[in-house]
Copies of this chain bind each other. A is one copy, B any other.
């Protein structure tokens, strides 16, 4: 720690201000950003430290839109029940909902982006170049799925409890990425996994929406360790919608009573 009067120094490139100017990311907040960049652009910029192109923005915002709300998920219910209990603290209800954004429900986006990233890194670290055609991608995908299977791990991004044949977000996002010239190696590898996994796993599973979002975010060059953060940001908007609806047409009390009134007492000594 060094740099000023009392020897303390905390570096940052984000927000800072003087009496008459506010700077953010090296820009003048009021002259360069407000009214000029969309909220999605700013969110991208805050993490990537560069302004996304219009094409990147379109893909990025399509991902956020895809992940914002999935109805009565555990996180949405948790947020509504917390709002029911503590309506004076909107931030608490929102935080409670986001805390469900862990490994099982919201983590697929990050897990999938990370998985694809590692496969590509390993391929390139061993001297491989990116495949030039579909057959090349299929070969790379097949080796990856086989290795993952051999390690007794799961391939992330496969399967969905409701969309058992095709998750409609997957072709939709692929098309948007194609239109914008952003169907990059992560998305191509993900598509190839969709084509080849049946050979290894013995059954055909759909490429799910959370997974394709992770692949698209990775193709945008966003840090794979932080992809969960974008799923959480998207979900923050969805949770606001859930809380707004809870005020307008509440279900929290009914949901709580449904559980509580159907409680069945089990002796603690029973196995």
Contact = CB atoms under 8 A, between A and B. Distances in A.
Residue in A85, A255, A263 with the greatest tally of chain B CB atoms within 10 Å: A85
Contacts of A77: 77-78, 81, 255-256, 259
Given A77-B77, A77-B81, A82-B100, 4 more contacts: A14-B71, A34-B173, A78-B96, A233-B240
Contact of A226 (B38, B81, B89, B90): B90
Interface of A: 1, 3-4, 6-26, 29-31, 33-35, 37-40, 42-43, 46-47, 49, 58, 61-62, 64-66, 68-75, 77-78, 81-82, 84-96, 98-107, 162-166, 168-169, 171-173, 176, 179, 209, 223, 225-226, 228-230, 232-234, 236-238, 240-245, 247, 249, 251-252, 254-256, 258-260, 262-270
A264 B11 CA distance: 5
Given A10-B72, A38-B38, A243-B226, A99 B89 contact: yes
Given A29-B169, A92-B102, A15 B238 contact: yes
Contacts of A34: 62, 65-66, 169, 172-173, 176
Contacts of A82: 74-75, 78, 96, 99-100
Chain copies in the assembled complex:
4
B81 A75 contact: yes
Contacts of A89: 86, 88-89, 91-92, 99, 102
Contacts of A258: 1, 8, 258-259
A162 B88 contact: no
A240 B241 CA distance: 21
A12 B99 contact: no
Nearest to A68: B42
A13 B172 contact: no
A55 to B, nearest CB: 11
A268 B11 contact: no
18 contacts: A6-B262, A8-B258, A10-B254, A20-B166, A30-B172, A34-B62, A34-B176, A42-B64, A46-B238, A47-B244, A86-B107, A87-B102, A87-B103, A87-B104, A89-B102, A226-B240, A226-B243, A226-B247
A34 to B, nearest CB: 4
Contacts of A234: 39
A3 B266 CA distance: 12
Given A1-B258, A258-B258, A264-B9, A16 B93 contact: no
